[in-house]
Amino acid sequence: MEAIGVLMTFPISTYLEQELDKRFKLFRYWKFPLKIEFLRENSSSIRAIVGTGRVGGGADTELINSLPRLEIVASHSVGLDKIDLVKCKEKGIRVTYTPDVLTEEVADLAIGLILSTLRRICECDRYLRSGLWKKGAFKLTTKFSGKSVGIVGLGRIGSAIAKRAEAFGCPISYYSRSEKSDSKYKYYPNVIDLASNSQILIVACPLNDETHHIINREVISALGPKGVLINIGRGPLVDEPELVSALVEGRLGGAGLDVFEHEPRVPGQLFGLDNVVLLPHVGTATMETRKAMADLVIGNLEAHFLNRPLLTPVV
Amino acid sequence: MEAIGVLMAGPMSPYLEKELDKRFKLFRFWNFPQKTEFLKENSNSIRAVVGYTTAGADAQLIDSLPGLEIVASYSVGLDKIDLEKCKEKGIRVTNTPDVLTEDVADLAIGLILATLRKMCECDRYVRSGLWKKGDFRLTTKFSGKSVGIIGLGRIGSAIAKRAEAFGCPISYFTRSEKPDSEYKYYPNVIDLASNCQILIVACPLTSETCHIINREVINALGPKGILINIGRGPHVDEPELVSALVEGRLGGAGLDVFEHEPEVPEQLFGLDNVVLLPHVGSATVETRNAMADLVIGNLEAHFLKKPLLTPVV
């Protein structure tokens, strides 16, 4: 299969690069500053795109249109917001992603964000390392166990988060497009009601046109000065300027964020706050999970080019 | 009850101070640099000591307070109280179990996640602008890793319940096996350490458990293993721990307690595989209020000749 051209959009994984290199003619898109020229020269040999969930890492309309021989987009992510799915369906291009293998990892990080935000773990660690403990105790923080948790999106990741939060004695409620009849958790038909009734609000839904800025000023106000927002979904699920001003003005109690609207740019006003935890989109970033994701991408590509059933198709 | 003298061992809680002040004649021990003179002048009026994790009631203090009837500790740990001497002299002792169990268990899980996923490093990475240059490196997964707990009391059990939700197989060591426990028992700490990836110290500090985490245990846990200490600093042979971490013989550590608090070995500051917290296990507003209320409740019960709420002795 070495002659098959595969375009990798973003340097998400050296292991994946290596494995793609062994099997295909790999083009590393990020190494070509002059994209138009690169495409003109190489587009006819590219039959697959390996995309990611990162900003700039997808297969948008423009890219798809410039690759006439594109047959498959294999995304190294479970999020599909960076792929023009409609265009792929239209052109008969297959799309695969990496569900399940990353569910636990992301759910773990959501709990980690809750604990480090509420208990100020990173601030405490900084306090100790700067020698301040010798001068006095760190201030009191607030308990996690028993606080009400509201989850936006009760898919694989949302459910895994709920299962973990239950072990901390947290009552769980959720919002999703439609109520899940076999769920034991309390359903709210809109995000504002969910936010009004939760102390911790977690964003775990896919990003699409309907969910863009689903966390807006009204939701943030409903969550309130004692509420905490956790985002392990996508940056654009949250109206970031609104979030920043709410945090700076004390209208929101705190936030644990793994994603931002314009990654890797993060609003500088957040850096001075002690009630936020800011992570560089590491939701799936462990050796174990990234290997499993890469293996799934490779597995899907091999299946496609060997005319076998795709492992995890979306389209 | 204003005439009853109560000696508060340290500045453990402004809220507790206030509440004690309202009810008793409160002596703030830390405000008297000349301890011997203070005791000479006031010992006769002191009928209660309120202790905590840093200072409680050792033999010397107990001996210098002839009117001492009760030691009420603002902690669940009793390592700073000479229990033998209290029993001998008929002095009651109370602590603050249950109200702080969840907070400490929560912190243990927080330490595991922060250590394995290098959360504090990642947060520093973002704030320093490094994310614009490239991604943070890969870390390691928590869910599914084997967890070993030393001490399966209230706190150890609460930690186990939480870790189970992350799909972690749980094993434990205690002085004697718990027949109704669903978890796997190991009869000694080295076997436990050899068979888990994350080892958590959650037992009381006594003369038997001092340095229960020693060089052998650390070696058994190994270069991919993580130690979490939410018990007491002296549970761990700290110099051995530091050299194991610096030399890479231990994979990482999440520590809320140290042998000589608030001093922390500086060789740890340069490491990115440790999370260091200033003894905040129970340090939330909710829990510290509940602990203070329990201390007050025990003292009131004692002086009103009612049953103590949470007696140890």
Residue of B nearest to A105 (CA): B141
For chain B, first and last CA: distance in Å? 23
List residues bridging with B228 in a β-sheet: B200, B254
| Domain range for A205 | 103-278
CB atoms within 10 A of CB B241: 25
A71 plus A140 within the same structural domain: no
Domain-embedded: residue A248: yes
Instruction: Test A121 with B140 for CB contact under 8 angstroms.
Output: no
Please state the rounded mean pLDDT for residues A80-93: 96
What is residue A56's predicted lDDT score, i.e. its pLDDT? 84
Instruction: Test A263 with B131 for CB contact under 8 angstroms.
Output: yes
**pLDDT per position as a tens digit, B171-230:** 999 999 999 999 999 999 999 999 999 999 999 999 999 999 999 999 999 999 999 999
As a whole-number percent, the residues of chain B with pLDDT over 70 amount to 99
A84 plus A153 within the same structural domain: no
Which one of the listed residues A94, A281, A290, A304 is annotated catalytic?
A281
Which one of the listed residues B232, B235, B288, B302 is annotated catalytic?
B232
**pLDDT band per the 50, 70, 90 thresholds, residue B66:** very high
Instruction: Test B127 with A271 for CB contact under 8 angstroms.
Output: yes
> What is the distance in angstroms between the Cα of A216 and the nearest Cα belonging to chain B?
24
Residue of A nearest to B133 (CA): A264
Q: List all residues of chain A from 178 to 207 with a beta carbon under 8 Å from chain B.
A: none
**pLDDT per position as a tens digit, A217-259:** 999 999 999 999 999 999 999 999 999 999 999 999 999 999 9
Residue of B nearest to A145 (CA): B102
Asked if A277 has any chain B CB less than 8 Å from its own CB, the reply is: yes
Look at residue B299 and tell me whether its pLDDT is greater than 70. Answer: yes
Average pLDDT over chain A, rounded to an integer: 97
The torsion angles phi and psi of A110, rounded to 5 degrees, stand at -60, -45
Q: List all residues of chain A from 225 to 264 with a beta carbon under 8 Å from chain B.
A: 263-264
Instruction: Test B106 with A278 for CB contact under 8 angstroms.
Output: no
Which one of the listed residues A234, A240, A290, A304 is annotated catalytic?
A234
> SS3 string of A280-294?
CCCCCCEHHHHHHHH
A258 plus A112 within the same structural domain: yes
What is residue A1's predicted lDDT score, i.e. its pLDDT? 67
What is residue B97's predicted lDDT score, i.e. its pLDDT? 97
A236 plus A138 within the same structural domain: yes
Please state the rounded mean pLDDT for residues B129-154: 97
B105 neighbourhood in chain A, CB within 8 Å: 145
What is residue A57's predicted lDDT score, i.e. its pLDDT? 87
> What is the distance in angstroms between the Cα of B53 and the nearest Cα belonging to chain A?
13
A83 plus A231 within the same structural domain: no
Report the CATH number that the domain containing residue A127 is assigned in CATH.
Answer: 3.40.50.720
Domain-embedded: residue A11: yes
B161 neighbourhood in chain A, CB within 8 Å: 167
A77 plus A111 within the same structural domain: no
Domain-embedded: residue A29: yes
Closest Cβ opposite residue A128 in set B105, B107, B277: B277
> What is the distance in angstroms between the Cα of A44 and the nearest Cα belonging to chain B?
31
Contact yes or no for A23/A1 (Cβ under 8 A): yes
Look at residue B313 and tell me whether its pLDDT is greater than 90. Answer: no
A184 plus A58 within the same structural domain: no
Q: Which letter does DSSP use for residue A45 in this model?
A: G
Tokens of B308: 């103590």
Q: Report the predicted TM-score, pTM, of the whole model to 2 decimal places.
A: 0.97
Residue of A nearest to B269 (CA): A129
Asked if A30 has any chain B CB less than 8 Å from its own CB, the reply is: no
* CA B188 vs CA A286, B179, B251: distances in Å: 32, 16, 21
How many CB contacts within 8 angstroms connect chain A with chain B?
165
Tell the residue number behind the tokens 């359903």, with chain if given: A187
B262 neighbourhood in chain A, CB within 8 Å: 133-134
What is residue A31's predicted lDDT score, i.e. its pLDDT? 96
Asked if A286 has any chain B CB less than 8 Å from its own CB, the reply is: yes
Please state the rounded mean pLDDT for residues A167-176: 98
Please state whether the peptide bond connecting residue B307 to the residue before it is cis, i.e. omega within 30 degrees of 0.
no
What is residue A55's predicted lDDT score, i.e. its pLDDT? 85
A266 plus A293 within the same structural domain: no
Instruction: Test A141 with B138 for CB contact under 8 angstroms.
Output: no
Which one of the listed residues A17, A71, A166, A263 is annotated catalytic?
A263
Look at residue A315 and tell me whether its pLDDT is greater than 90. Answer: no
A263 as an active site residue: the answer is yes
Look at residue B237 and tell me whether its pLDDT is greater than 70. Answer: yes
Which one of the listed residues B17, B69, B164, B261 is annotated catalytic?
B261
Closest Cβ opposite residue B165 in set A134, A142, A167: A167
A191 plus A242 within the same structural domain: yes
Closest Cβ opposite residue A122 in set B120, B132, B263: B120
Residue of B nearest to A260 (CA): B126
Domain-embedded: residue A315: no
Instruction: Test B284 with A143 for CB contact under 8 angstroms.
Output: yes
A23 as an active site residue: the answer is no
Residue of A nearest to B127 (CA): A271
Domain-embedded: residue A313: no
Instruction: Test B264 with A119 for CB contact under 8 angstroms.
Output: no
Give every CB contact of residue B129 below 8 A, 6+ residues apart in sequence.
Answer: none
Look at residue B278 and tell me whether its pLDDT is greater than 90. Answer: yes
A123 as an active site residue: the answer is no
Contact yes or no for A202/A151 (Cβ under 8 A): yes
A205 plus A256 within the same structural domain: yes
Q: E strand or H helix at A118, and its extent?
A: helix A103-118
Tell me the one-letter amino acid at B143. Answer: S
Average pLDDT over chain B, rounded to an integer: 97
The Cα angle at residue A216 between residues A215 and A220, in degrees rounded to 5: 80
Instruction: Test A168 with B106 for CB contact under 8 angstroms.
Output: yes
Instruction: Test A286 with B141 for CB contact under 8 angstroms.
Output: yes
> What is the distance in angstroms between the Cα of B89 and the nearest Cα belonging to chain A?
34
- State the total domains in chain A: 2
Domain-embedded: residue A311: no
Rounded-to-integer distance, Cα A249 and Cα A275, Å: 12
The ipTM, to two decimals, is 0.97
**pLDDT per position as a tens digit, A43-55:** 999 999 999 988 8
A111 plus A93 within the same structural domain: no
The torsion angles phi and psi of A174, rounded to 5 degrees, stand at -150, 165
Residue of B nearest to A167 (CA): B162
A48 plus A197 within the same structural domain: no
B288 neighbourhood in chain A, CB within 8 Å: 140
Domain-embedded: residue A312: no
The torsion angles phi and psi of A307, rounded to 5 degrees, stand at 55, 40
**Smallest Cα–Cα separation from A112: which of A172, A168, A191, A185?**
A168
**pLDDT per position as a tens digit, B142-160:** 999 999 999 999 999 999 9
Give every CB contact of residue B9 below 8 A, 6+ residues apart in sequence.
Answer: B29, B30, B49, B50, B51, B52, B54, B55, B56, B57
Domain-embedded: residue A234: yes
Q: CA torsion sign, B126 to B132 to B138 to B142?
A: positive
Instruction: Test B277 with A137 for CB contact under 8 angstroms.
Output: no
**pLDDT per position as a tens digit, A89-104:** 999 999 999 999 999 9
**Smallest Cα–Cα separation from B153: which of B234, B219, B109, B97?**
B97
Closest Cβ opposite residue B276 in set A109, A129, A282: A129
Q: List all residues of chain A from 90 to 119 with a beta carbon under 8 Å from chain B.
A: 104-105, 107-109, 111-113, 115-116, 119
Rounded-to-integer distance, Cα B204 and Cα B160, Å: 17
